[in-house]
Amino acid sequence: MAITFFGLLLVTFLIARVIPIDPVLAVVGDNAKADVYDAARAALGLDKPLWQQFATYVGKVFTGDLGKSVLTSNLVTDDIKRVFPATLELATLGTLIGVSLGVPLGVLAAVYQGRWPDQLARLIGLFGYSVPVFWFGLMGLLLFYAKLGWVAGPGRISVAYQDFVDPITGVLVIDAALQGEWEAFRDAWSHLILPAAVLGLLSVAYISRMARSFMITELQQQYVIAARVKGMSEFRVIWRHALRNAFVPLITVIALSYAQLLEGSVLTETIFAWPGLGRYITNSLLNADMNAVLGGTLVVGAVFIGVNLLSDILGRLVDPRTR
Amino acid sequence: MRALTTPTEQPLLELDNLRVNFHTPTGIVRAVRGLSFTLGRERLGIVGESGSGKSMTGRAILDLIPYPGEVLADRLVYRGQDLLTMDKRTRRKLRGRHISMVMQDPKFSLNPVQTVGEQIAEAYRVHHKASAREARERSIAMLEAVQIREPGRVYELYPHEVSGGMGQRVMIAMMLIAEPDILIADEPTSALDVTVQLQILKILDDLVTERGMGLIFISHDLHLVQSFCDRVIVMYGGKAMETLPAAELADEAARSQRHPYTLGLLGCLPDLDHPKAKLATLTRDPAWLA
């Protein structure tokens, strides 16, 4: 864990140094004089040897200092505290949708292999994979927001409710619920559900395919026959015996897909004007805002490490052989 | 050895012209083609090579033939109840409670993510309204019946934590806890070490005798069947070549009355006391399947 995180620090640091973008120019502008340029360079510590720069960087990361963003002129940590919860709420709901629909769909596809539930699952999977997310997002907005008015439009919350909710966790729906601001909660929820559903569809496509193939493997095992010999109902054989075994590899799949969503999905966030991590990193990168890029990359890496750890722990709970 | 079933007693299982067909894209595979027998409270052995249809016979009785397969028979009756016309649900309830099966390899036939105790208790609770505690006590008693020491401790173990021999005892406990009338043992010892095979067979034999059950013992091991069963069906290509009292398998005097396939099987066996330079190869006559 610690070693992985250290490696992550090193890699992000090196990427920032080899990238053909001059962070000094981003500060002083293209037309700065040489002495101004040098002063800015020294102020950023870029004149020192690489290992010293790395040591300073590591020291700063551990004190929670990721530097200042040139673009927003906020501390990068503050920016991330703002954008990460937005992505967290989107990714979590998207994954919940993905698991709660994708797993049953995959199980049914495996049980009725080759028959209509399997074909339906295949169609949904194909749709989720191949339809571009921006098209799906735009069509969703057009239908459910513009035409039907079932959900709210882009953004996390309407302007009217913007100041109702104090940030506690940063996750708007939770904060609103904690403070009993139910109207704000409804509004935030209404903003959240459509982009989450768009991400959820992708997640459903992936998870249902994997769940199907794991279940097919499990259903051929001898212990499934043994459970039937005992006289257990087919429902219990499938959902209790086989699925519990299929969950062992499925946990890793779900965790990886969750981690992927936590990186921030640039397209979805752009279409829904969602102030999340993906958009933040992309904007920073396009503006040569290296502190922000590094900080964001670090968060993404740390999230990956964290989610992997979580999936290992869950795996141990489900599978006694790994204990 | 117990006597064969007396004709006055109602048989446990009657089977007439059982057929198991698999419809595949390349044609119909006929795994069992017209097998008939009657089972009483006795030990019936079914022997044959791989693919002779002996396992499929067991599965067909339990209604566990997988999807592209179909089971046909002129008669399939369990204690007077017609299994062919019975609805799926009632048929399912017979499994475990009335007809049960011990499978080959405990390593694969126990659910790896559930403790062995839970799996035994579950088999009891499917058929009996019982509290979790009562089911647990019953399961521990059953573990004791299959001669497991410290049954309370073993109850909490996962399948990967028990040995093959112990796993098979667990399997037997699981399949007998609901007290079925018929037990199908499908090569119950072929995945085990020779040293534990006899122990397992002894346990199986004691329980079957004690409870007066009918046993269908499926095996490819002629010696085992001969010493363990009352009656033997020799199968080849999905058909019964002959049915004979087990004792006659080794009876030299009765050799001339034996089916050539049975003699062929016997001829393939190596014998330590009379070593042969060359083991006989089986000759198979297509006419037997006509």
pLDDT per position in chain A (323 positions), as tens? Answer: 778 888 888 888 887 777 776 777 777 777 778 888 888 888 877 788 888 888 888 888 888 888 888 788 888 889 998 899 999 999 999 999 999 999 999 999 999 998 999 999 999 999 988 888 889 889 999 999 988 988 888 888 887 777 777 778 888 888 888 888 888 888 889 999 999 999 999 999 999 999 999 999 999 999 999 999 999 999 999 999 999 999 999 999 999 999 999 887 888 998 998 999 999 999 988 887 888 888 888 899 999 999 999 999 999 999 998 88
**Residues in chain A within 8 Å Cβ distance of B127:** 231
Q: Which residue of B has its CA nearest to A316?
A: B113
- Please name each of the domains of chain B with its CATH number: 37-58+99-284 (3.40.50.300)
Instruction: Place B8 in a pLDDT band, splitting at 50, 70 and 90.
Output: low
Task: Say whether A222 and B103 touch across the interface (CB within 8 A).
Answer: yes
Q: Does A118 touch chain B (CB under 8 A)?
A: no
Q: Hey, where are the domains in chain A?
A: 2-62, 77-322
Cβ <8 Å between B112 and A228: no
**CB–CB contact B126 A229 (8 Å):** no
DSSP code for B224:
H
- Residue B1: its pLDDT value, please? 45
What chain A residue is nearest to B123 in terms of C-alpha separation?
A230
Q: Which residues of A touch B175 (CB under 8 A)?
A: 229-230
Neighbours of A99 (CB within 10 A): 19
Q: Give mean pLDDT, residues B209-216.
A: 92
Are A231 and B93 within 8 A, CB to CB?
Answer: yes
Nearest to B63 by CA among B75, B71, B53, B54: B71
Q: Do B111 and A245 touch (CB under 8 A)?
A: yes
Helix, strand, coil share of chain A (percent; to 5): 75, 0, 25
In the predicted structure, residue B84 carries a pLDDT above the cut 80: yes
Rg (CA), chain A: 24
pLDDT confidence band for B248 (50 / 70 / 90): confident
Pick from A225, A244, A321: CB nearest B103: A225
Angle at B247 between CA B243 and CA B248, to 5 degrees: 60
Q: Which residue of B has its CA nearest to A218?
A: B111
What does R_g of chain B's alpha carbons equal in angstroms? 20
Could you tell me if A322 lies within 8 Å of chain B, comparing CB atoms?
Answer: no
Contacts of B101 in chain A (CB under 8 A): 229
pLDDT attached to residue B38: 94
Which range, of A43-47, B121-125, B161-165, B180-184, averages the lowest pLDDT?
A: A43-47
CA distances from B152 to B107, B149, B162, B179 (A): 21, 9, 14, 21
Q: Which of residues 40-59 of B touch A (CB under 8 A)?
A: none
pLDDT band at B19 (very low <50, low <70, confident <90, very high): very high
CA distance B22 to B68: 6
Separation between Cα atoms, residue B69 and residue B57, nearest integer Å: 12
Per residue in A264-282, pLDDT (tens digit) is: 788 899 899 899 999 999 9
CB atoms within 10 A of CB A43: 11
The shortest CB-CB distance from B123 to any of A230, A233, A245 is to A230
For residue B114, which residues of chain A lie inside 8 Å, CB to CB?
241, 244
Burial category of B286 from C-beta neighbours within 10 Å (exposed 0-12, middle 13-18, buried 19 and up): exposed
Q: Cβ neighbours of residue B227 under 8 Å, at least 6 residues apart?
A: B246
Q: How far is B157 from chain A (nearest CA, A)?
A: 10
Give chain A positions within 8 Å (CB) of B170. none
Q: Is the pTM of this model over 0.90?
A: no
Q: Is A229–B160 a contact, with Cβ atoms under 8 angstroms apart?
A: no
User: What is the Cα–Cα distance from B250 to A164, expressed in whole angstroms?
Assistant: 92
B221: exposed, middle or buried (Cβ count in 10 Å: 0-12, 13-18, 19+): middle
A230 closest CB neighbour out of B105, B115, B126? B126
Q: With an 8 Å Cβ cutoff, are B158 and A241 in contact?
A: no
CATH topology of domain A77-322: MetI-like fold (1.10.3720)
Chains A and B form CB pairs within 8 A to the count of 76
The separation between CA A37 and the C-alpha centre of its own chain, rounded to angstroms, equals 38
Mean pLDDT of the B7-34 span: 88
Structure-token pair, residue B252: 């030299």
